[in-house]
Amino acid sequence: MAELQLKSRRFRAEREADWRRLETLLNRVEKGGARRLNRDELVEMPVLYRQALSSLSMARAISLDQGLIGYLESLCTRAYFFVYGTRARPLERLAGFFTDEWPRAVQALWRETVVSAALMALGAVGAYVLVARDPDWFYGFIPQALAGGRDPMATTAFLHDTLYQKLTGHEALGALAAFLFTHNSQIALFAFALGFALCLPTAGLMIFNGCMLGAFLALFAAHGLAFQATGWLMIHGVTELFAVTLAGAAGFSIGWAVAFPGQRTRVDAAADAGRRGALVMGGVVVMLFVAGLLEGFARQLIQNDLARLSIAAASALVWGLYFYLPRRARPT
């Protein structure tokens, strides 16, 4: 027993300085993050971690006291999460998502975004022309429940009033915003989730969403309310339609990967596209939330057409710069 205690003290004396050094650095990191360490200390951490692992292995092999083994196990576990785990705190991860990860994921899908937007525009133009020539086409594009009386049978006065109907009470506005957010989120999620079926369902959703927009504008244009209806739609529509377009782009990326995996297996190709698409969809939910607020609150509270269109133009500028402004290359 005396010999074992002597061996334990000698073992600790030879290595304890390194353990304490590692513990000191970990305490600083856990209080203030990795930025609390300078460059030399960051390089030193993995070395100290490997030395602590070696000490733990030796301590177990020669059956040193359990208190020392427990201390080394705790120290190595803490160091592991710094060396190999997620080093950023939740707020840092969130900031990284909005400042870097989400915009880069959107930029990577620029081709799919162009296709998604083109299909939506094609549907809008096609429906606009059809409804302008024959108003009965309107019922083929707009569900009656969604129309809310805004159909070819409505009078100009009624349609005009719907553009400037002002809901009163925060509860009414909040309920409307919640409903619109849920509705738009479902469209976006379906466009993304159905992309694996070789892009076809996603393409159909993009075209149909455009058809609804075109039919709606054609109805109001027939009553001389095209300018007013555009402001009513676009105050939230810029953000909402952009979000749905990005959801469609994410769906197209998965469908394309499944159809043309290249040198990878279809599962691996779909998984890679899915990870990138998931980043895009995380931000799409945020965009739809913003659109829901604009639709449920700003559109009801702002009654001036130019103000509505100004907000729409500002939204387009902000989203365009945010996503497509060139960014510095990531360090390798």
Q: What is the pLDDT of residue 165?
A: 75
Digit-coded pLDDT (tens) for 10-63 = 777 888 899 999 999 999 888 877 778 888 888 898 899 999 988 888 888 776
Tell me the H-state helices in the chain: 2-32, 39-61, 66-83, 90-96, 102-108, 110-133, 138-141, 144-147, 156-163, 170-193, 200-221, 226-259, 266-293, 299-301, 305-324
Question: What's the pLDDT at 111?
Answer: 96
Q: Which of 60-69, 214-223, 272-281, 310-319 has the lowest mean pLDDT?
A: 60-69
Distances from the Cα of 216 to the Cαs of 78, 145, 149, 227, in angstroms?
59, 14, 12, 13
64-67 contact pairs (CB < 8 A, 24+): 64/4, 64/7, 64/8, 64/11, 65/8
- What pLDDT does residue 332 have? 41
Predicted local distance difference test score (pLDDT) of residue 6: 57
The one-letter amino acid at 303:
Q
Q: Where are the domains of the chain?
A: 2-87, 92-324
Q: What is the pLDDT of residues 83-122, one digit of tens each?
A: 876 555 677 778 889 999 999 999 999 999 999 999 999 9
What is the residue-averaged pLDDT of the chain? 87
**Token pair in block for residue 315:** 């939204």
pLDDT tens-digit readout, 142-154 = 877 778 788 999 9
**Tens digit of each residue's pLDDT (9 = 90 or more) over 242-273:** 999 999 999 999 999 999 998 888 888 888 89
Q: What is the pLDDT of residue 331?
A: 47
Q: DSSP letter for 297, please.
A: I
Q: What distance in Å separates the CA atoms of residue 226 and residue 221, rounded to the nearest whole number?
A: 4
pLDDT tens, residue by residue, 210-240: 999 999 999 999 999 999 999 999 999 999 9
Question: For tokens 């159905």, what's the residue?
Answer: 194
Mean pLDDT of 276-287: 93
User: How do residues 155-204 score in pLDDT, each as one tens digit?
Assistant: 999 999 989 876 555 555 555 556 667 777 888 999 999 998 989 999 99
Q: What angle do CA 125, 128, 133 make, to 5 degrees?
A: 130
Query: Using CA atoms, how far apart are residues 143 and 113, in angstroms rounded to an integer?
Result: 27
The tokens 């907000």 sit on which residue?
A: 311
Kindly list the distances between the CA atom of residue 194 and the CA atoms of 41, 187, 209, in Å, as whole numbers in the listed order: 48, 11, 15
Give me the DSSP letters along 87-138. -S-HHHHHHHIIIIIHHHHHHHTHHHHHHHHHHHHHHHHHHHHHHHH-GGGH
